Structure 1
Amino acid sequence: MQMSSLALILCSAALGFLIHSVLSRRRPARSPPLPPGPRPWPIVGNLPQLGPKPHQSMAALAQLYGPLLHLKMGFAHVVVAASAAVAQQFLKAHDANFSSRPPNAGAKHVAYNYQDMVFAPYGPRWRLFRKISALHLFSAKALDDFRHVRQDEVGILCRALAGAGQTPVRLGQMLNVCATNAISRVMMGKRVVGHDSGGSGGDEKAEEFKAMVVELMVLAGVFNIGDFIPALERFDLQRVVAKMKKLHTRFDNFLTTIVNDHTIDDQNKGHVDLLSTLISFKDGEDSLTDTEIKALLLNLFAAGTDTTSSTVEWAIAELIRHPEILSQAQQELDSIVGKNRFVTESDLPQLVYLQAVVKENFRLHPSTPLSLPRIAEKSCDINGYHIPKGSTLLVNVWAISRDSEQWADPLEFRPDRFLPGGEKPNVDVKGNDFELIPFGAGRRICAGMSLGIRMVQLLTATIVHAFDFDLANGLLPQKLNMEEAYGLTLQRAEPLIVHPKPRLAYHVYKA
């Protein structure tokens, strides 16, 4: 009787196990959980927790919840990559799935309704814009063909700084004029803004143009409630859209004048430059519309001016605060370049320490602290977490480059970490080393990265070589305010105001 009962129990157990196995195979497996993150508020989600400097707030949240962070912004899922390993998963292993941009007010109301290269959906038009830019704007040949323009504009900047006399200058403003004219001369063969003779920071037109670009970057960096809660879009509660529309009108007037004047010049003079090349595509197989040409110009002026000037402004501020590093950089420049001429681009490969200074500045002060957003085309799993279709991806470049697991003394300005014998001698900024990606990585890496690197290196090297600096109003270097003001680009909370003191031979500063 006992044996029969035992057999019945064993048979029942075996049958139960078989049924469970069949049912388990039929039921879909539970999807992994969402990445961890703070509890969202009703309706608005985590938007109120981001504060005025979202890159810093998100870095602090990542310290609590981990390097793959989930936020709810309104009704949208947002995932934040805050470590090199997580960023590599998104931008390399899953790059194809995150190659388009999410809908946003800036692309719609400023960037010609997604007809530019930065915000265009991943597809044939985006690939065309990228191909044209890679071939005609940012190829090694195109950059070499116009190196004399960049060197000329940097020389004009240095003469303006030398002519300032005892007048303090707003360095960022003058750097912006230089970067703007370097791009405009390559694009259309002429300068569009100028330095005033007094050296106080640029003429009225230059100040207006920089203000437009800064406003664009500030507005583009705002987390607009209407982007995340569609029902509220038409109310424009933050007045962001209204400001974007006004700014777009100003930019469009500026760009329309440039294109129209340039077309007339071409007809009258047979002038050929990069804008002429873009205009020539209007009649080809890969035709561009006037709107697409203006949208590409907007990308170039917005992405290639303020990012460059703010990055170099941060670099000079760091060198003023670290006189021993400044002295070492100047010794290298004096030994290679001498004191009877300005730096040229051909000098840059020999300036090993100066390149380390620039890399360290890119690390501590990335021009875009939060990457431009990307969107998940389909659901995927990353690091054991579920990323729903339609999620917005943000890569916290600022947090990654200050990660104590990657960098020794991450808050210290230490160029030697990139030198032979340092902790990161082979790390570069070109998108392959994910602990340092100031230009992004993957398909959507900054198209103008090569130009940006050259311009930042040339400007930093030339200014460090050509000048010593005292801070305005007798301010001591250790008291210099290094606070950040958030926008799409990383601005200084207070502009760097300095007294430039020429250190090269007198004749070098003469036209």
Structure 2
Amino acid sequence: MAAVVFENCFILFLICIFSLLCYSFIFKKPKNSRRGRDLPPSPPSLPIVGHLHLLLSTLTHKSLQKISSKYGSLLHLRFLNVPIILVSSASMAYEIFKAHDLNISDRGVSANGESLVFGSSGFLFAPYGDYLKFMKKLAVTKLLRPQALEQAQGVRAVELERFYANLLEKAKKKESVEIGMEVMKLTSNMIFRMSMGRRYSEESGYAERVMELTTKSFNLTKKIFFANMLRTTLGKLGISLFRKEIMGVSCEYDQLLERILVEHEETLAEDDQDKDMMDFLLEVCGDEKAEYKITRDHIKSLFVEVFLGGTDPSTRATEWTMAEILNNHKILEKMRQEIDTVVGKARLIQESDLPNLPYLQAVVKEGLRMYPPIPLVLREFQESCEIKGYYVPEKTGLVVNVYGVMRDPDSWEDPDEFKPERFLDYASRSGQEEQMREQGMKYLPFGAGRRGCLGSNLASILQGTAIGTMVQCFDWRVKGDKINMEETLGGLILTMATPLECTPVPRLGPF
């Protein structure tokens, strides 16, 4: 009986959806009129679903890349009743970010109410306004400034040594390791201790708990964006999808972060040299003269997003790059030769070595080019505008397929081949400043414009030292001749379909 009732309710629900969509597309006039001006080109669409049928693969970035290669690098698409401008070339990305950066400074994603995970007090989806400007200024001048990164170098060095020691222990036991999992532990510990304080040891269990919650949050991201898309279409029905799951993770974060906040308040350091990110934010929270009055929820949400933005994307980028290195023996040997020459064989690689290791840096950049952790950049046009003579209505979504941009054959020679050498002279190329900026739009692993990633320097350090350690200190035994490089999307993160698992064999050391 219960099953029949559920089935009837589900059928009624589908009828409601279908009726609403029919009303929207058949009887209701578009909110934004073209006013006689042409929208960008658009592939053939279907009633109701629009271009949704073209996303045949779960790999959305590849489906969009295929669409662009057939119909052009600037397209107008519609998914259900959600209009989208799709950009897939460096020249078009440059045109938009140069002329319309402020207009596209909002992500166009609704915040999840009071949740600490992508919620209204967060930084990631905040509208471009006073709060966002204040937090961005704080990040640039206090939290992620070069002096702050240098100050925390000792913490990262300790965690890197622990990472090396853990791999060495597994190597002695001839155990296989999942590279992604080991790198996730490294990045989680580094970011946790940089942001929450050097006072916390591994035994506190806090960093491990944060990693668990971060994994839960990333598993929810696809659901959150799906719910946001349906909210745009079905908002009048008052449907709130996945709210229970989202708020469950949010409550767990809240309990953990409140405990850490209280501990910081009790032992707030007076010496600037001992202050961490949490200490600085608590001071700002208590400053009545601050440009913007932030709350405890603002602090908690910021740290949730620091964990989300700093751990899984860096981990996946490192895993992809290591897979390419192990698939290309010549690249591996060239990296080792450079590291052995600069660092030697008597000590572990350090952050201070990175500027003297141009080939290692080129390998890291090439990994990010081929496998950007977040392959799609999402924005929204706040006002109507004109691009290349085409009319774009206000509140139209913007999707920049950075995966497609960085594999565009018009911009990159042999775009699907792993060639680090292409970056060896990238920074030193001469030319006019304007031309260099346009050229830079070929390479967008951290986004661009006002909403570009603020932690790109830290991410490069984490990836460079992790990859450098694994290449310098170990040989790696893999199953089969080649590593499986098939892709999947873990939430919105580009992930290996088959996790990279191999056995470390000591090459140097122990140090």
> TM-score, structure 2 length as denominator?
0.84
Q: 1:185 to 1:498 in 2, by over 3 A?
A: same
How far the C-alpha of 1:492 sits from its partner, in A, is: 1.4
| Partner of residue 281, structure 2 | 278
Is residue 505 of structure 2 the alignment partner of residue 498 of structure 1?
no
How far the C-alpha of 1:457 sits from its partner, in A, is: 1.6
Is residue 448 of structure 2 the alignment partner of residue 441 of structure 1?
yes
How far the C-alpha of 1:462 sits from its partner, in A, is: 1.9
Distance in 1 (CA, whole Å) between partners of 2:201 and 2:218 is 16
Which has the larger Rg? 1
| Partner of residue 309, structure 2 | 303
Is residue 109 of structure 2 the alignment partner of residue 103 of structure 1?
yes
Distance in 1 (CA, whole Å) between partners of 2:200 and 2:122 is 22
| Partner of residue 215, structure 1 | 219
The amino acid of 1:272's aligned partner reads K
Q: Is the 8 A contact 1:468 1:503 kept in 2?
A: yes
SS at match of 1:42: coil
Q: 2:197 aligns with which of 170, 174, 189?
A: 189
Distance in 2 (CA, whole Å) between partners of 1:92 and 1:143 is 30
Distance in 2 (CA, whole Å) between partners of 1:453 and 1:42 is 45
The amino acid of 2:473's aligned partner reads A
Is residue 261 of structure 2 the alignment partner of residue 259 of structure 1?
yes
- Map 1:15-414; keep pairs closer than 5 Å: 31-50=36-55, 51-104=57-110, 109-111=115-117, 113-164=119-170, 165-190=173-198, 205=209, 208-220=212-224, 222=226, 224-231=228-235, 234-236=238-240, 239-266=241-268, 272-284=275-287, 285-286=289-290, 287-371=293-377, 373-414=378-419
Which sections of structure 2, spanning at least 5 residues, go unmatched? 1-32
SS at match of 1:35: coil
How far the C-alpha of 1:279 sits from its partner, in A, is: 0.6
Distance in 2 (CA, whole Å) between partners of 1:374 and 1:352 is 34
Indicate the percent of aligned positions where both proteins have the same amino acid. Answer: 32
The amino acid of 2:177's aligned partner reads V
| Partner of residue 461, structure 2 | 454
Is residue 466 of structure 2 the alignment partner of residue 464 of structure 1?
no
The amino acid of 2:71's aligned partner reads Y
SS at match of 1:79: strand
The amino acid of 1:176's aligned partner reads M
SS at match of 2:482: helix
Q: Is the 8 A contact 2:76 2:86 kept in 1?
A: yes
How far the C-alpha of 1:63 sits from its partner, in A, is: 1.3
How far the C-alpha of 1:432 sits from its partner, in A, is: 6.8
Q: Deviations over 1:127-161 (max 9, x none)?
A: 11001111111111111111121122111111101
Q: Is the 8 A contact 1:107 1:119 kept in 2?
A: no
Which stretch of structure 1 is more off in the superposition, 98-107 or 348-357? 98-107
| Partner of residue 14, structure 1 | none
> TM-score, structure 1 length as denominator?
0.84
Q: Is the 8 A contact 2:365 2:420 kept in 1?
A: yes
How far the C-alpha of 1:62 sits from its partner, in A, is: 0.7
How far the C-alpha of 1:55 sits from its partner, in A, is: 0.9
Q: Is the 8 A contact 1:220 1:488 kept in 2?
A: no
Q: Is the 8 A contact 1:369 1:489 kept in 2?
A: yes
Q: Is the 8 A contact 2:90 2:438 kept in 1?
A: no
Distance in 1 (CA, whole Å) between partners of 2:237 and 2:471 is 48
How far the C-alpha of 1:407 sits from its partner, in A, is: 0.9
How far the C-alpha of 1:48 sits from its partner, in A, is: 4.6
Distance in 2 (CA, whole Å) between partners of 1:191 and 1:63 is 52
How far the C-alpha of 1:187 sits from its partner, in A, is: 1.3
How far the C-alpha of 1:334 sits from its partner, in A, is: 0.6
Q: 1:60 to 1:392 in 2, by over 3 A?
A: same
| Partner of residue 3, structure 1 | none
Q: Is the 8 A contact 1:224 1:240 kept in 2?
A: no
Q: Is the 8 A contact 1:59 1:399 kept in 2?
A: yes
How far the C-alpha of 1:109 sits from its partner, in A, is: 4.5
SS at match of 2:440: coil
Q: Is the 8 A contact 2:119 2:301 kept in 1?
A: no
Distance in 1 (CA, whole Å) between partners of 2:412 and 2:439 is 17
Q: Deviations over 1:398-442 (max 9, x none)?
A: 00001011111111111111224x899689999970011100111
How far the C-alpha of 1:479 sits from its partner, in A, is: 4.5
Q: Is the 8 A contact 2:114 2:120 kept in 1?
A: yes
Distance in 2 (CA, whole Å) between partners of 1:206 and 1:267 is 23
SS at match of 2:109: coil
Q: Is the 8 A contact 2:179 2:501 kept in 1?
A: yes
Distance in 1 (CA, whole Å) between partners of 2:63 and 2:462 is 31
SS at match of 2:305: helix
Q: Deviations over 1:24-54 (max 9, x none)?
A: xxxx996431112234443443335334221
SS at match of 2:330: helix
Q: Is the 8 A contact 1:343 1:462 kept in 2?
A: yes
Q: Is the 8 A contact 2:116 2:300 kept in 1?
A: no
Q: Is the 8 A contact 2:196 2:278 kept in 1?
A: yes
SS at match of 2:75: strand
Q: Deviations over 1:201-230 (max 9, x none)?
A: xx9747634522431444455474423304
Distance in 2 (CA, whole Å) between partners of 1:307 and 1:425 is 29
How far the C-alpha of 1:259 sits from its partner, in A, is: 1.9
Q: Deviations over 1:157-188 (max 9, x none)?
A: 11101111211111111111111111111112
Which sections of structure 1, spanning at least 5 residues, go unmatched? 1-27, 196-202
Q: Is the 8 A contact 1:117 1:129 kept in 2?
A: yes
